[in-house]
């Protein structure tokens, strides 16, 4: 486990960017990680975690939330309409809102259960056909539509193309967020979070650099 090493790198990246480390939320991506690794990070005091699948999170987090107070869960992966209810009940934030129908479903379920997580709208900055997210040219309208549903839009999220320099994608996301008056920028992962911090990231998603390689046999 290298939580302390990652925190040191975050502190250094913030210092280089003349930012306070308090402005950057570290989401420890615990998807398909063995329980002992997750528990070690919990025992070290970290409380903000990210999962990609609702079902996996449902199976393991309620017990940890009882054992460790103050745990905050963020959904990072794609959300299907039929999983919205458990997602709204379990997660503190959803980073993958990418279509009006999904936003409408979140609004409806939120009315029923009396709470709505913070929402990040996913932007497909590379306009990759295989990747989820709203094209940059459509994000202004999407932000307007989601706000009209009285939903809490916290910010924007992106996953840059794997084979490209992430910096221009982070710059684009920051520009789109600023244009829409959105403070949250969910961007940056294990390989590029320092670049993301330099460009204004408020939420970085780090998994393997904290926990070690993922358990792909899970």
When pLDDT is cut at 50, 70 and 90, the band that residue 217 belongs to is very low
For every residue of the chain, which 3-state class applies, written as one string? Answer: CCHHHHHHHHHHHHHHCCCCHHHCEEEEECCCCCHHHHHHHHHCCCCEEEECCHHHHHHHHHHHHHHCCCCEEEECCCCCHHHHHHHHHHCCEEEEECCHHHHHHHHHHHHHHCCCCEEEEEECCCCCCCCCCECHHHHHHHHHHHHHCCCCEEEEECCCCCCCCCHHHHHHHHHHHHHCCCCEEECCCCCCHHHHHHCCCCEEEECHHHHCCCCCCC
Rounded mean pLDDT, 138-157: 97
When pLDDT is cut at 50, 70 and 90, the band that residue 98 belongs to is very high
Rounded mean pLDDT, 103-132: 97
How confident is the model at residue 215, as a pLDDT?
A: 57
Indicate whether this model's pTM tops 0.85. yes
Residue 87: is its pLDDT beyond 70?
yes
How confident is the model at residue 216, as a pLDDT?
A: 54
Rounded mean pLDDT, 171-193: 97
Residue 214: is its pLDDT beyond 80?
no
Residue 77: is its pLDDT beyond 80?
yes
Domain ranges for the chain? 3-211
How confident is the model at residue 213, as a pLDDT?
A: 77
Mean pLDDT of the chain: 95
Residue 194: is its pLDDT beyond 60?
yes
Q: Which fold has domain 3-211?
A: TIM Barrel (3.20.20)
């Amino acid at each position: 486990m290298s939580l302390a090493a990652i925190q040191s790198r975050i502190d250094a990246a913030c210092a280089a960017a003349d930012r306070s480390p308090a402005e950057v939320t570290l989401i420890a991506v615990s998807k398909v990680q063995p329980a002992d690794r997750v528990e070690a990070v919990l025992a070290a005091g970290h409380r903000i975690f990210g999962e990609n699948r609702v079902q996996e999170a449902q199976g393991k987090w309620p017990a940890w939330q009882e054992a460790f107070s103050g745990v905050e869960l963020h959904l990072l992966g794609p959300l299907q309409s039929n999983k919205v209810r458990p997602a709204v009940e379990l997660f503190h934030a959803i980073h993958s809102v990418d279509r009006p129908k999904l936003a409408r479903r979140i609004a409806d379920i939120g009315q029923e259960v009396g709470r709505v997580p913070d929402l990040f709208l996913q932007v497909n900055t590379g306009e990759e056909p295989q990747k989820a997210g709203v094209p940059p040219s459509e994000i202004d309208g999407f932000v307007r539509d989601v706000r009209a549903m009285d939903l809490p839009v916290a910010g924007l999220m992106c996953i840059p193309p794997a084979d490209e320099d992430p910096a221009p994608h982070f710059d684009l996301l920051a520009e789109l967020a600023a244009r829409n008056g959105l403070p949250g920028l969910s961007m940056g992962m294990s390989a590029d979070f320092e670049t993301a911090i330099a460009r204004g990231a408020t939420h970085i998603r780090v998994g393997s650099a904290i926990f070690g390689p993922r358990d792909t046999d899970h």
